Structure 1
Amino acid sequence: MAQQASGGLGRSILSGLCGLLAIVLLPVSLVAFWASVMLTRTDVFVDELRPVVSKPLVQEALTDGIVDGILGAVTLRPAIEKALEAPIRAEAEALVASPEVKDAWTEGIRAVHTQLIGVMEGRADTTLDAQGRVSVRLKIPVPALTSRLEQAGVRDAASIAPVVTIPLAKASDLQKAQQVYRVADAWGSWAPVLVAVLALLAIVLARRWRAATTLVAVGWIVLSLALALVIMISREPLLRPVGSDVARTIADAAYGLAARNLYYEIAIAVGVAVVMLLVSALSLAFRRRRLN
């Protein structure tokens, strides 16, 4: 009898430990799964950030970059250069809304995602700018300005294609994120499976499986909602250190994508927990009905 009681107590303790780990590790597993699987989806990243090119701050930065790129590529007398600046800016303002610039933006966003993943993975061949920053780089042809530049005495005006660079973050500033990513990448895809196995063990080993199921489900719901709240309130503090307004606009769109993917995972976790609660409640109701 004592041995059976000891064995039952050991099972209860092990069940409680597995249940506690299943609850505590759920938000960690959701973030790890996102970092290892969802973060690397370049096409989704590009689709989300493609409309950002229409934001006023981004268009203004592209316009300034085109003007500076053209004037930096030519050698003219100061008076001529000053006279050209206004028409070049007017043409650049029209150009940034063109399909060509939108296509260049799409390629730039695709490349910056590759840079970001390269930095996270610590790859030595990651392409950064001269200051070691992850940047959006756009090469923008300006054929509409060719004749005007030729009239001003610019040779090979047709070959001028300014490269506009929008710095986002220094690779050195992403070291903490890099360490987290490496851990998540190593086991993140299996993290939800581990949590599910721990929850199953907690239920199987419990003396009262319905109570164990209910506790795990309630714990999952509470911590899932807590994770959603953290994601909501962390947006502003995380984006505040981002340098320029343009970079912050891009980072905000990227954060929105990350948050939405995490919200999907949270919704799935809550849905599974609700199903567990329903199964437990229906099983208890059926048992009481059968006993009566």
Structure 2
Amino acid sequence: MDEPPGPSSAPGTGGAAGDGPPSGTERRHRAGRIVMSTVSAVLITLTCVLVPVSLLTVWVHDIVLDTGRYVATVAPLATDPAIQDAAVHRITQAVDVKVDGSAVTSDLAAWLQSHGLPPRAAAAVKSLGPELDDAVNQVVTKAATEVVHSDTFATVWTQANRAAHTAVVQVLTGHGRGAVEISDGTVTLDLGTVVDRLKQELVAAGLSPAEKIPDVDKRLVLFQSDELARIRGAAHALDVVGNWMPVLTVVLGALGILLARRRRRALVSTALGAAGGCLVVAVALVIARHYYLDHLPPAVQSRAAAAVVFDTLLHFPRIALRTAIVLGVLVALGVYLSGAGRLPRAVRGRADRAADSVARWGYAHGVRTGRVGTWTDAHRRRLALAALLVLALVFALWNHPTVPTVLLLVLVLLAVLVVLALLAASGRVGAGNRSDG
């Protein structure tokens, strides 16, 4: 009797498992897998870092340079209470109507006393000097408030921000001059037109000293930072990269996932890592906001106005970061639930059983899908993938999507999946009843 072949006689195995060193081909394959896994990990990590950076490049290159979108964003600030209060305070300071109440009341008391007014009454008239100063200040403040709340201030504000992209580019690059000026890290808004209007209002109201208001500094400081030069450098770098950064990020992420041994897990890791990177940047922006407002230089007259301007300038990046965080979590959740784990299988099985129950109930009540249901059952995965790709394309073409946009598309996808599940279940129920018959 021939003896069975020994372990070493197995062709192409290089010996039984654990016997002898691996062959050259196996070593090359193992080394190749290690290299691919390493490259995949590097690319996925780089993608997670570049996702928030890409959002900033889109903001700098696209949103910041879009006049219409920026004007639409900052135009409501003309009616913001913090901006209006700061403008009223600065305009009142600039107008600074000088009325010496004490001198006026003293002259009036002397004149009245010369015409027989008792000394006690004359002293009472003299004491009205401070009240007269307060009354004049109240008149000026009231007039300034009316001007700021009128269409004049809104027009000046809109005109100053009409070239909003220019204003923000000035903040980020330091180039250019206009209604919004950049100098030594300070961003100011010229209120000269509003002050001139207020002078006319005061003179028309009978406050003649307003005619002597000098031509003084009438600028309202909106933003000040000694780090503006560094911000300019970073903004210039982001502007140069432009819209290529998001494309590069997507390509690197796709390559990292394709090179991974477990692509589903790699996709989940990439989505969660990108969401985590965006979360870190979002938290950094919150910290930067608090730090800036807690260290405002004396040149900034209103902390509330500075906060409003800061929030407005960073409105789009914050929304984009939140959107990326939500999208990353939802993508990771969706990929996980589509996997082969125990929990995903249980969830899908329960959903299919629920769809089968609905289909059987419908079949019993005369609801039949016929060949449509059978065809859907046969092509369900392809149809679901097609729906996912279409919604992904819609998201990619959406002009600056937000969190509600992501949630809307997810709801649409879920609705499509529910319809496909019901049609497929109806097809299975109909086919089963036909075979039984």
Check whether TM > 0.5.
Answer: yes
Pair 1:180-2:237 in alignment: no
Question: What is the identity, as a one-letter code, of the residue corresponding to 2:84?
Answer: Q
Aligned counterpart for 2:288 among listed residues 234, 250, 274: 234
Pair 1:193-2:247 in alignment: yes
1:253 alignment partner in structure 2: 308
| Alpha-carbon displacement from aligned partner over 1:136-161 (angstroms, at most 9, x marks no partner) | 11212234334346866959x9xx99
- TM superposition shift of 1:16: 1.5
* Larger displacement relative to structure 2 (55-64 or 222-231): 55-64
Q: TM-score, normalised by structure 1?
A: 0.76
CA distance in 2, matches of 1:274, 1:283: 14
Q: TM-score, normalised by structure 2?
A: 0.54
Question: What is the identity, as a one-letter code, of the residue corresponding to 1:231?
Answer: L
Pair 1:126-2:180 in alignment: no
Question: What is the identity, as a one-letter code, of the residue corresponding to 2:202?
Answer: L
Pair 1:13-2:53 in alignment: no
Pair 1:91-2:146 in alignment: no
- Structure 2 unaligned blocks of 5 or more: 1-24, 105-131, 350-437
Aligned counterpart for 1:137 among listed residues 190, 199, 205: 190
* Larger displacement relative to structure 2 (257-266 or 171-180): 257-266
- TM superposition shift of 1:71: 5.3
Contact 1:213 1:277 in 2 (8 A): no
CA distance in 2, matches of 1:7, 1:153: 84
- C-alpha RMSD of matched pairs (Å): 3.9
Pair 1:100-2:100 in alignment: no
Counterparts in 2 of 1:119 and 1:218: CA distance versus 1, 3 Å: closer
CA distance in 2, matches of 1:277, 1:189: 28
Contact 1:220 1:273 in 2 (8 A): no
Question: What is the identity, as a one-letter code, of the residue corresponding to 1:95?
Answer: V
Q: How many pairs are equivalent?
A: 283
- TM superposition shift of 1:67: 4.1
CA distance in 1, matches of 2:248, 2:229: 27
| Alpha-carbon displacement from aligned partner over 1:243-281 (angstroms, at most 9, x marks no partner) | 356443333223323554234323442315532542354
CA distance in 2, matches of 1:223, 1:152: 60
- TM superposition shift of 1:237: 0.8
State the identity %.
24
- TM superposition shift of 1:184: 1.0
CA distance in 2, matches of 1:90, 1:216: 58
Pair 1:4-2:5 in alignment: no
Contact 1:52 1:250 in 2 (8 A): no
- Structure 1 unaligned blocks of 5 or more: none
| Alpha-carbon displacement from aligned partner over 1:71-115 (angstroms, at most 9, x marks no partner) | 57xx99996896865533332232222122222222234467634
Question: What is the identity, as a one-letter code, of the residue corresponding to 1:249?
Answer: A
| Alpha-carbon displacement from aligned partner over 1:188-246 (angstroms, at most 9, x marks no partner) | 42222222111100111112212211221221232233333333333211222333564
Pair 1:282-2:357 in alignment: no
> Which is higher, the Rg of structure 1 or of structure 2?
2
Counterparts in 2 of 1:221 and 1:146: CA distance versus 1, 3 Å: same
Pair 1:39-2:90 in alignment: no
CA distance in 1, matches of 2:182, 2:329: 47
CA distance in 2, matches of 1:181, 1:65: 31
| Alpha-carbon displacement from aligned partner over 1:167-190 (angstroms, at most 9, x marks no partner) | 234576411111111111111422
User: Which has the bigger relative contact order, CA under 8 A and spacing at least 6?
Assistant: 1
Counterparts in 2 of 1:283 and 1:102: CA distance versus 1, 3 Å: same
CA distance in 2, matches of 1:129, 1:213: 45
